[in-house]
Amino acid sequence: MYKSLRQPIVCVLGHVDHGKTSILDVIRGTSVAKKEVGGITQKIGAFEVDMESFYRASRTEIGMNKLKIPGLLFIDTPGHVAFSNMRARGGALADIAILVVDINEGFKPQTVESIEILKRFKTPFIVAANKIDLIPFFTNIKNISFRDLQKTQRNEYNEELDKRLYNLVNKFYEFGLSTDRYDRITDFSKTIAIVPVSAKMAIGISDALLMLAGLAQRFLERNIEYVGGLGKGTVIEVKKEESLGLTLDTVLYQGSLKKGDRLAVSTRNGPAVSKVKAIFVSGKGKKLLEKSEVFSAQGIRVVLADKLEVIPGSPAIAIVNDTREAFDEIMKESQINIPLSLNGVTVKAEALGSLEAISYELSKKDIPIRSASIGDITRRDITDVSTLNDILSKIIIGFNVEMLPEAREAALTSDTAVETGSVIYSLIEATEKWIQGKKE
Ligand code: GTP
Ligand code: NA
Ligand code: MG
């Protein structure tokens, strides 16, 4: 019945550790942030909220039910400096966005980068000024709207809060944006809403959702009409499940996808095509529902007939007749943009975003890269570098990848060093230490 409108995609952007995942956790009612390795979001995560849950979370009664969208699709992004590519991807996908700023820290480099992305893609957004529980004179309270919070706090707290908000408003002004506390705005078409929140104490989340609904409402009038045709999406996660085959968790952002369709994807060996064996969407709780056809925007799980080495973070495009058009687009979007040197380290990572992330950090430390590619560490990787003579070429760095048994075996009889891990900082540190040791 809502087929003519698709779910708005809500992207959450902001500086590292300002609380993006925590805010989404409150919305979703889970606690992913605590489980992430190193506490840093390293991939884009996506989840859907249906309107019923949304209204419950935003504590909205009558009046708001004029919002005739099937739900909202939230996309988390990493705030770490090196994940520009993934932030931009998220920004490009977003219909509306939440920019998260730690109210005590204020603007940071990735806050600015996020603003530039939102401006570049002309994405309407609200600002969540997070961690208001850390403002001096805070009187402990949980699970409350921002409106109600103020009445529970001392004047000193409300003054300290206003001081920080004033600083934020001034900062936004420097970037050419007019903002204000959401309950002081009279014309929402001219001023961007700042909602003070605390993810930790679940404060202000309902107010933020309400502002988001308002944004979606204004936006809805023109922009989120469902666009038919070729299904287009971004692959977020790739899993090889014995019983099912190859599954791709994907954000379908345009068109539709049917069981039996041919899907063009990006693999380590270039573009490839496989048949869609099954499509799942998330049902109530953790259950998956099988669908014969899905319409954008949706977070979907696609099961492909072939066990291809699909690259997470890359595009997936349904093919109607001609594969060339889809392949061209796949090629264009999957290019690895990392400067390589004749002599340097070998980098392997599980996705485009993480490969770019670790390469960016290595280049910041003036460590040249000889080869950067996606996938586990193979025997071939070991034999490739064992013929090389300079020091740097003797190390392989694996970020979020496995070292395959044959590679392990080959490494035993070679002088190749391998460092693997899932936290960038520690991997870079280990690499620097190894290089230092070799130079001495
Ligand atoms: P990246 O994904 O790494 O960019 O970080 P993020 O923006 O998703 O931040 P995350 O949700 O991981 O939170 C970072 C840290 O801040 C965690 O230790 C959280 O517990 C903490 N935090 C988040 N929100 C709040 C808040 O409202 N108050 C307080 N006191 N701490 C918070
Ligand atoms: Na974090
Ligand atoms: Mg996060």
**CA 342 to ligand 2 center in whole angstroms:** 35
Tell whether ligand 1 has an atom less than 6 A from the beta carbon of residue 198.
yes
Instruction: Kindly provide the ipTM of the predicted complex, given to two decimals.
Output: 0.99
**CA 23 to ligand 1 center in whole angstroms:** 8
Mean pLDDT by 10 residues, the chain (440 residues): 68 95 86 62 70 71 59 84 70 88 96 88 94 98 94 97 98 97 95 98 93 82 69 84 81 91 90 94 71 88 91 85 85 80 93 80 92 93 91 93 95 93 86 92
**CA 398 to ligand 1 center in whole angstroms:** 27
**CA 87 to ligand 2 center in whole angstroms:** 14
Quote the CA–CA distance of 258 and 252 in Å, as a whole number.
12
Predicted pLDDT of residue 316: 93
Which of 16, 22, 207 should be mutated for ligand 1, with most atoms under 8 A from CB?
A: 22
Beta-carbon contacts of 197 under 8 Å, excluding residues fewer than 6 positions away, are 23, 128, 129, 130, 132, 146, 203, 204, 205, 207, 208
Which ligand sits nearest to residue 113's alpha carbon? 1
Give nearest CA residue, ligand 1 atom 2. Answer: 41
Predicted pLDDT of residue 2: 40
Query: Which residue is it, tokens 């603003």?
Result: 115
Beta-carbon contacts of 24 under 8 Å, excluding residues fewer than 6 positions away, are 12, 32, 45, 47, 74, 76
Tell whether ligand 1 has an atom less than 6 A from the beta carbon of residue 79.
yes
